[in-house]
Amino acid sequence: MTVRNELLKNIRQVEPYVPGEQPQHRVVKLNTNENPYPPSPRVAEALRNLDADTLRLYPDPEASALTEALAGYYGVDKNQVFVGVGSDDVLSLCFLTFFNSEKPVLFPDITYSFYKVWAQLYRIPYECPKLNDEFRIVREDYYRENGGIIFPNPNAPTAIYEELDFIEDILAHNRDSVVIVDEAYIDFAGKSALELIGKYDNLIVVQTFSKSRSMAGMRIGYAISNPDLIRCLNNVKYSFNSYTMNQPDLVCGAAAVQDEEYFREKIRMIVATRKWAEEQLKELGFVFPEPKANFIFAKHPDYDAEKLFQDLKANNIYVRHWNSERIRDYLRITIGTEEEMKVLFDFLKSVL
Amino acid sequence: MTVRNELLKNIRQVEPYVPGEQPQHRVVKLNTNENPYPPSPRVAEALRNLDADTLRLYPDPEASALTEALAGYYGVDKNQVFVGVGSDDVLSLCFLTFFNSEKPVLFPDITYSFYKVWAQLYRIPYECPKLNDEFRIVREDYYRENGGIIFPNPNAPTAIYEELDFIEDILAHNRDSVVIVDEAYIDFAGKSALELIGKYDNLIVVQTFSKSRSMAGMRIGYAISNPDLIRCLNNVKYSFNSYTMNQPDLVCGAAAVQDEEYFREKIRMIVATRKWAEEQLKELGFVFPEPKANFIFAKHPDYDAEKLFQDLKANNIYVRHWNSERIRDYLRITIGTEEEMKVLFDFLKSVL
């Protein structure tokens, strides 16, 4: 049965975001910025200890076990923390809640591609100031009238990190706009903007369990801000769905936060592998901005990125490539284990 | 720090839905229509067997393990099934996707209160035809021009079930509108509208794991329709969040669907307890429409419902009461275990 046009004409048609491939066969998977290490053993333990009988009840709508764990970890109040189904859920709700003006929202031309999708979905006007030729955000571009600002730090897919004085400049120039700093990759980078939360009431910091905490499969993201903005966000959330975080999210998320030592150790390992990967890629002739995330955004002056991407894929090595203006010469390569990176470099050495 | 008005003025302010209380102490909890029995033992087994190491990867964005299990169970194609974070997530996305016309969406004046919240959130025009004096939906009210139709069957909080000829009449009179039948409680009632999916391309049936499958704590809901409408829904979903269902959702949901025997047995028990509860309430002088869900919507001609609600709560027996027009004389009482219902009836006998 094909649906008739009379019926289709009033249905919302959208161009969806296309996520990186999740191959079903065994591959070296360096294409979606997942963590190559498993989550803390405490997460496995929390899952094992979860009493399935409790699943008959609705979970705590305030997700207290998780928001309290995060509040304790970051030294903020529980009512300064909002949790959602991955940072995509959190960011999407932030767009709906905070970008409610007639003025355009600002985000870089080269950045996380979901921003544009949400702006279009919610019919929010937006403008995309261009990164400069070194792929850096130009802070002065964000000093004009706007309906809100969002950018990742480090930026994706460039992996470039900006220091806090840069963030603070943007916050200070935009006191009447909400500024969202999307820190999905901050744990691999440097200082978080969280320390500015008390100073700027227009700042929201968003982070995720999907990268540094190895829990992409659990779908946990969070926002930290002042209690007023968090309340606005909660009110909009409660207008969609009272209960978004399931019981395993709450117990596994809290368990992960409690294992600081494991967390630091795995980040240290990834950063070390990244350093080694930088050397290897340089030796092979690649160029790239200084990587401060768990990926490297690299191009080779003599090789076509699209072709390299396809060759890698044909050899079961998955990286990410976008066939879009300004970045089509680049590959985004997630930092895997040393063994995975070795497979990549061996292949690259054989073809370049 | 209090946020300044200059900042707040462009932020979306909404009146959120207020869910039923989740008391933290031990109570007889008959207020949120949860299942009094635990989920199938296969769910506990699936949780125990879940390899926590897989959590580092993003879950399958198509949630295939779960959509395939549901497709197999209902004898439809996998591309006719959409899954979300509870039926609230599914229904909210349905509002956004299918109710995209300038004409008003229709739903009953007394029904699931989230419908109005979503319509307001998405700025969808709506009208609410009144249930008749017996709290029945008047089908002729839905024969006028509209931008879509939604109602629960059985309706909430009335627990009244309408037979399929009623559903079919509404579908046939509204060929160019999407008609959503919200079957959260259908397993306690009668025939599902699913058998009309092949005949009407404008029908979407939404169900949930939260009630009959005892999995409110997992947040799993689903829609079944034709592949065209499901594709529209998926496209909008992919514009929010590529991955909404976490790994435990996928394995636990699939495990639950596979245990047909347990499912049937628990429904049989709840329906038997409901029958006994009907007799008890009648003996106590309560009146109520014939209940076809896992709750009874009852009033007592001689007692004030609000006062009874408070008295029950003071005695750690939680039921639901709304202080709103037409239904403030009623209590919604979830069917618990026999033991829980006995506590309720003993208390009622002592006060009435």
pLDDT digits (tens, 9 = 90+) for A5-53: 888 787 888 777 777 777 777 899 999 999 999 999 999 999 999 999 9
How distant is the Cα of A285 from the closest Cα of chain B, in angstroms? 30
Strand, coil or helix: A317? strand
Cα–Cα distance measured from residue A328 to residue A321, given in angstroms and rounded to the nearest whole number: 7
How distant is the Cα of B88 from the closest Cα of chain A, in angstroms? 5
Residue A1: the pLDDT is 62
CB pair distance less than 8 Å for A6 and B176: yes
N-term to C-term CA, chain A: 51
A314: amino acid identity, one letter: A
* Chain A residue whose CA is closest to B148: A10
CA-to-CA separations, B168 to A118, B142, B204, in angstroms, rounded = 37, 12, 12
* Chain B residue whose CA is closest to A247: B217
On the question of pLDDT at B270 being above 90, the answer is: yes
Q: Which of chain A's residues have a Cβ under 8 Å away from the Cβ of B118? A: 239-240
Strand, coil or helix: A320? strand
pLDDT digits (tens, 9 = 90+) for B118-129: 999 888 999 999
How distant is the Cα of A33 from the closest Cα of chain B, in angstroms? 9
Beta-bridged to residue A204, according to DSSP, are A180
CB pair distance less than 8 Å for B55 and A43: yes
The mean pLDDT of chain B is 95
- Assembly ipTM: 0.94
Nearest CB among A17, A57, A238 relative to B16 is that of A238
Q: Chain A to chain B, count of Cβ pairs less than 8 Å apart?
A: 294
Cα–Cα distance measured from residue A90 to residue A221, given in angstroms and rounded to the nearest whole number: 6
Number of other CB atoms surrounding residue A215 within 10 Å: 29
CB pair distance less than 8 Å for A16 and B54: no
* Share of residues in chain B with pLDDT > 70 (%): 99
Q: Which of chain B's residues have a Cβ under 8 Å away from the Cβ of A229? A: 3, 11
CB pair distance less than 8 Å for B216 and A243: yes
pLDDT digits (tens, 9 = 90+) for B51-109: 999 999 999 999 999 999 999 999 999 999 999 999 999 999 999 999 999 999 999 99
CB pair distance less than 8 Å for B238 and A96: no
How distant is the Cα of B282 from the closest Cα of chain A, in angstroms? 28
pLDDT digits (tens, 9 = 90+) for B174-202: 999 999 999 999 999 999 999 999 999 99
- Strand pairing category for A28-29 and A126-127: unpaired
Residue B239: the pLDDT is 87
Its sign, for the CA torsion A252, A254, A258, A260, is positive
**How buried is residue A269: exposed, middle or buried, by Cβ count under 10 Å (0-12/13-18/19+)?**
middle
CB pair distance less than 8 Å for A217 and B55: yes
CB A151 within 8 A of CB A181: yes
For chain A, residues with pLDDT lower than 50 are none
Q: Among A271, A178, A224, A180, which Cα is nearest to A73's?
A: A224
CB B58 within 8 A of CB B239: no
CB pair distance less than 8 Å for A89 and B37: no
On the question of pLDDT at B228 being above 90, the answer is: yes
CA-to-CA separations, A220 to A63, A111, A206, B148, B331, in angstroms, rounded = 11, 21, 11, 34, 37
Residue A133: the pLDDT is 97
CB A222 within 8 A of CB A88: no
Beta-bridged to residue A299, according to DSSP, are A287, A330
Cα–Cα distance measured from residue B258 to residue B221, given in angstroms and rounded to the nearest whole number: 16
* Chain A residue whose CA is closest to B87: A241
Cα–Cα distance measured from residue B34 to residue A57, given in angstroms and rounded to the nearest whole number: 6
Nearest CB among B216, B234, B242 relative to A58 is that of B216
Cα–Cα distance measured from residue B237 to residue B102, given in angstroms and rounded to the nearest whole number: 22
How distant is the Cα of B179 from the closest Cα of chain A, in angstroms? 11
Of the residues A8, A55, A177, A337, the best mutation for testing chain B's interface (the one with the most B CB atoms within 10 Å of its CB) is: A55
pLDDT digits (tens, 9 = 90+) for A291-334: 999 999 999 999 999 999 999 999 999 999 999 999 999 999 99
Its sign, for the CA torsion A111, A114, A120, A125, is negative
CA-to-CA separations, B324 to A191, A331, B298, in angstroms, rounded = 51, 59, 15
Q: How confident is the model at residue B152 (pLDDT cuts 50, 70, 90)?
A: very high
CB B290 within 8 A of CB B154: no
CB B209 within 8 A of CB B215: yes
Cα–Cα distance measured from residue A77 to residue A194, given in angstroms and rounded to the nearest whole number: 13
Q: How confident is the model at residue B333 (pLDDT cuts 50, 70, 90)?
A: very high
Strand, coil or helix: A8? helix
DSSP B158: T
Nearest 5°: the CA angle A247, B78, A240 is 40
Nearest CB among A1, A86, A228 relative to B241 is that of A86
At B92, list the tokens. Answer: 């909210």
Cα–Cα distance measured from residue B207 to residue B186, given in angstroms and rounded to the nearest whole number: 8
* Chain B residue whose CA is closest to A214: B56
Nearest CB among A47, A219, A241 relative to B50 is that of A47
* Chain A residue whose CA is closest to B7: A176
Q: Which of chain A's residues have a Cβ under 8 Å away from the Cβ of B11? A: 97-98, 100, 178, 229, 232
Q: Which of chain A's residues have a Cβ under 8 Å away from the Cβ of B12? A: 96-98, 100, 232, 236
pLDDT digits (tens, 9 = 90+) for B294-313: 999 999 999 999 999 999 99
CB B87 within 8 A of CB B184: yes
Cα–Cα distance measured from residue B332 to residue B320, given in angstroms and rounded to the nearest whole number: 5
Cα–Cα distance measured from residue B287 to residue B156, given in angstroms and rounded to the nearest whole number: 17
Tokens 């194609």: give the residue.
B77
CB pair distance less than 8 Å for B214 and A55: yes
CB pair distance less than 8 Å for A17 and B239: yes
Q: Which of chain A's residues have a Cβ under 8 Å away from the Cβ of B22? A: 57-58, 60-61
CB B216 within 8 A of CB B76: no
Spatial CB neighbours of B273, under 8 Å, sequence gap ≥ 6? B335, B336, B337, B338, B341
Cα–Cα distance measured from residue A207 to residue A209, given in angstroms and rounded to the nearest whole number: 7
B202: amino acid identity, one letter: N
CB B1 within 8 A of CB A201: yes
Higher pLDDT, B23 or B62: B62
Q: Among B141, B137, B144, B130, which Cα is nearest to B163's?
A: B137
Residue A26: the pLDDT is 82
At A56, list the tokens. Answer: 């008959």
Q: Which of chain A's residues have a Cβ under 8 Å away from the Cβ of B96? A: 12
Its sign, for the CA torsion A223, A225, A227, A229, is negative
CA-to-CA separations, A142 to A117, A129, B131, B267, in angstroms, rounded = 21, 8, 53, 59
C-alpha neighbours within 13 Å on the C-beta side of residue A232: 25
Q: How confident is the model at residue B1 (pLDDT cuts 50, 70, 90)?
A: low
CB B210 within 8 A of CB B221: yes
Spatial CB neighbours of B82, under 8 Å, sequence gap ≥ 6? B67, B90, B222, B223, B224, B225, B230, B233, B234, B237
At B188, list the tokens. Answer: 């306690």
